[in-house]
Structure 1
Amino acid sequence: MANNKKRLLNLITIFIFIISLVGCNSNSKNSSKKVEEKQGIVTQDTSNKKNGDLSYSDKNSTNISGKLKVHYINVGQADSILIQQDSHNMLIDAGNNADSNLVVNYLKKQGISKLDYVIGTHPHEDHIGGLDVVIKTFNIDKILMPKISTTTKTFKDVITAVQNKNMKVTAPKVGDNYKLGGATWSILAPNNSSYQDLNNYSIVIKMKYGNNSFIFTGDAESISEGEILKKQLDIKADVLKVGHHGSHSSTTDAFLAKVNPKYAVIMCEKGNDYGHPHKETMIKLQNKKITTYRTDECGTVVATSDGTKITFDKKPGTYNYNGNSNTTKNTSEKTKKTDTYSTSKNNKSNRILATGNSSSQIPQTKGVGVYITNTGKKYHVNGCSSLKKSKISISLEKAKSQGYGPCGNCHPPQ
């Protein structure tokens, strides 16, 4: 009998000890979790990670405060987007060279003196033209640009501005996650290191704030969109910045279906030479009943998220294309022309790693080649119908310096 009582007491003691261990372990996990939340740590959610899925868990997602503001700045036929959250700021592109003061003054009016991130999506003048002045004007924590260089004066000006501030350029890596206040953002593209068209080097990102999300595409075209889809990346979003100013070269049916946005924003200039936004794109948006905002019709558009719902400061734009009503007839020959260009083998841009050392020399490439004629003040790509009578080879930079403008029929490089 005494032995049985002793055995029972031992079992009870062991049981109590096990319970205390479980309790301690639980408290330890909760304590660790609280520390992570306090530090704002962003962690990968591996429980649902499959085939490159970029889904991740933001420890602050349920404790967001304030609002996220996305300013789609009206810089005409160009891109410039300011994102703000809880005194943290991020700029994606800065318009053309001529837009430098416009962008800088807009940022200053928002009370900005520092930018956490500056992204030059790709080295086309209508995206990085104003970046050098932005870099000179504001304090910046991190600059991201793709692994590609050109010898245009615009690109050189940006690199010089970076070097003069003793800064580094960070190359985008698909899957990298960053924080902007209570928001998180991840890189979706580029997914390759060799493209014929500079547009496909565009840095594409997805930003999440609470239950809301935004995708910013730069000028990424169907090739880049296809690579994102192939990797099965998480691209569902409430708001899509439509690629390449609404060109038919972007926003494929499959990509649009996967993003499945409630809202779309198109950044283009009224009466532009390229016929943006194109008929094909606008029909897709209309058929899916996606509420669309356009800088050519609405001016600067500001979207505000509280983590649950998104509001816009302007009324939606129309589904018109090329400046005309959305009918079945062709509005102009411009909508039939290809909206991309390819560099020749001799002019193909050399790809570089983004500068890990701000003082390092940037490998340079021959300037993008275009053609001019004996008459008129337009530059063209090879194969343009306007080149039948004469065809004079010239660099894009030199053509611009001599007062030549882009041909609206063949959409040469900007």
Structure 2
Amino acid sequence: MKKPNTITGRLLRRLTALALAAALTLSLAGCQDLLALLGEGGYPASSTVQTQTPAEGSSFSVNFIDVGQALSVLVTCDGQSMLYDGGNVADGSLVVSYLESAGVTRLEYVICSHAHEDHVGGLAAVLAKFPAGHVYAPVTQNDTQCFQDFVKYTQQQGLNVEIPAVGTSWQLGSATVQVLGPVAQYDDTNDTSLVLRIDYGQTSFLLTGDMEQKAESDLVNSGANLDVDVLQVGHHGSETSTGYVFLNSVLPEVGVISVGEGNSYGHPSENTLSRLRDAGVDVWRTDLAGTVTITSDGTNYTVSSEKYAAPEQQNPTLTDGSGQQSSSTQTIQAYIGNANSKKFHLPSCSNLPDPANQVLFSSYEEAVQAGYTPCGNCLG
């Protein structure tokens, strides 16, 4: 698939963002008040980075390795390699074999997104095989044996597990990698996931680990540059990740879900698939397509996979159950603004203002242009 590299394509993505917020259903759990998302917090000034223009002969690929109900992503650029997660302990040999087949002899960067086994488990085997330059994680210790093995093999290379600060960036060949999150402290291990943005020329990618909607909202509020072409869909397509507010900021064209066939968690969630559909995101799933590889020349990117799976298989919400394509655009006749709070709501919202304070808008765009912000309960 080729990336549309035109101003029109970008405008269409922005228009999709407006329609996306309007498609939010009242069944969405855990909505956050958007006033909090629009607070005074800002992204560190040090976060601004200069991306490089790929030189002639440069090469770049992102490989979402099929490790079942787990995650492992190999990024290669100009002969340098970075591994983001290594799947479960049982996946270690598979990941090592994949790296060998890809011609990897050294990993400039090894990243453990967070301390759960399905992300850190296979990294011990990787570090036992390949020399590394830097090893990053959101924590330096954890009670689980798999994380302790990860630390042990890091130290056997004379390295320490480092915790990168938000805003930290580095070059991987001609690609620029930047740490965007987590931007706060969390008790939920999933929300501690290291979030990476990768820019290669005019193409961009976002790796999110298992980040949940609380951390997603905080990341949006931080002012981080989240608008990318390709999104690693968080937490294997779980219902608790990839919320509308986050998608509205990321506006990806492609979403890759690393997920196991017939897994007991019900991943990916139908609600998450519906949100991706509403956002116009092309979904690729490792349970159906196998390893998904995205290559880029710095202007356009191409998505390929080990196995063919039709779009309506990878995202069944594209059809209405009759075999026909369904429309992802919901018809909403009006939005109701609150003249006092300057919020606007769906007509079905439980927090509608008194009739005397109601202002009617015919479209989402009209409400935003009038200076109103979406209600966190019905448009969160």
State the TM-score, normalized to the length of structure 2: 0.69
Provide closer, same or farther for how the CA distance between residues 322 and 302 of structure 1 changes in structure 2, counting only shifts above 3 A. closer
Per the alignment, residue 128 of structure 1 pairs with 120
- The whole-number CA distance in structure 1 between the counterparts of 2:81 and 2:139 is 24
Aligned to 1:343: none
Give the alignment of 1:147-162 within 5 angstroms.
Answer: 147=139, 149-162=141-154
Alignment of 1:215-294 (within 5 A): 215-294=206-285
Partner of 1:56: 49
Secondary structure of the 1:143 match is strand
Cα contact 1:270–1:323 (8 A) shared by 2: no
Determine the structure 2 residue equivalent to 1:27. Answer: none
**Separation in structure 2 between the aligned mates of residue 174 and residue 231 of structure 1, nearest angstrom:** 11
1:209 equivalent among 197, 200, 203: 200
1:201-249: CA deviation from partner (whole Å, max 9, x where unpaired)? 1000000000000000000111111111111110110000000000011
CA contact (8 A) 1:51 1:232 kept: yes
User: Which runs of no fewer than 5 residues in structure 1 stay unpaired?
Assistant: 1-49, 329-414
Distance 2:67 2:316 in 1: 18
Cα contact 2:229–2:253 (8 A) shared by 1: yes
SS in 2 for 1:228: helix
1:109-120 matches, within 5 Å, as 109-120=101-112
1:327 CA displacement: 6.0
Report SS of the residue matched to 1:57: coil
Alpha carbons 2:270, 2:317 under 8 Å: kept: no
Match of 2:82? 90
- Whether the 8 Å CA contact 2:283–2:314 is kept in 1: the answer is no
Mapping for residues 70-109 of structure 1, pairs under 5 Å:
70-109=62-101
Task: Quickly say closer, same or farther: Cα 1:326–1:246, change in 2 above 3 A.
Answer: farther
Q: Distance in 1 between matches of 2:154 and 2:88?
A: 18
Q: Tell me how far 1:319 sits from its aligned partner.
A: 5.5
Question: Alpha-carbon deviations, 1:125-146, whole Å to 9, x = none?
Answer: 0001111110110011000011
Q: Secondary structure at the match of 1:313?
A: strand
State whether residues 297 and 317 of structure 1, in contact with CA within 8 Å, keep that contact through their aligned partners in structure 2: no
> Percent sequence identity over matched residues?
37
SS of the residue corresponding to residue 151 of structure 1 reads coil
Aligned-partner Cα distance in 1 for 2:202–2:190: 30
Partner amino acid, structure 2, of 1:56: V
The secondary structure found in structure 2 opposite 1:240 is strand
Equivalent residue for 1:68?
60
Q: Does 1:312 align with 2:296?
A: no
Shift of 1:257: 1.0
Please tell me the residue identity of whatever aligns with 1:284.
R
TM-score by length of 1: 0.64
Q: For CA contacts below 8 A with separation 6 or more, give which structure has more relative contact order.
A: 2
- Counterparts of 1:317-336 in structure 2, within 5 Å, are 318=311
Shift of 1:154: 0.8
Instruction: Quote the Cα distance in structure 1 between the aligned partners of 2:247 and 2:312.
Output: 16
User: Deviation at 1:316?
Assistant: 6.0
1:190 to partner: Cα distance: 1.2
The whole-number CA distance in structure 1 between the counterparts of 2:310 and 2:166 is 33
Cα distance change of structure 1 residues 117 and 275 upon mapping to structure 2, 3 Å threshold: same
Provide the C-alpha distance between the structure 1 equivalents of 2:63 and 2:291, rounded to a whole number of angstroms. 7
Separation in 2, partners of 1:162, 1:84: 21
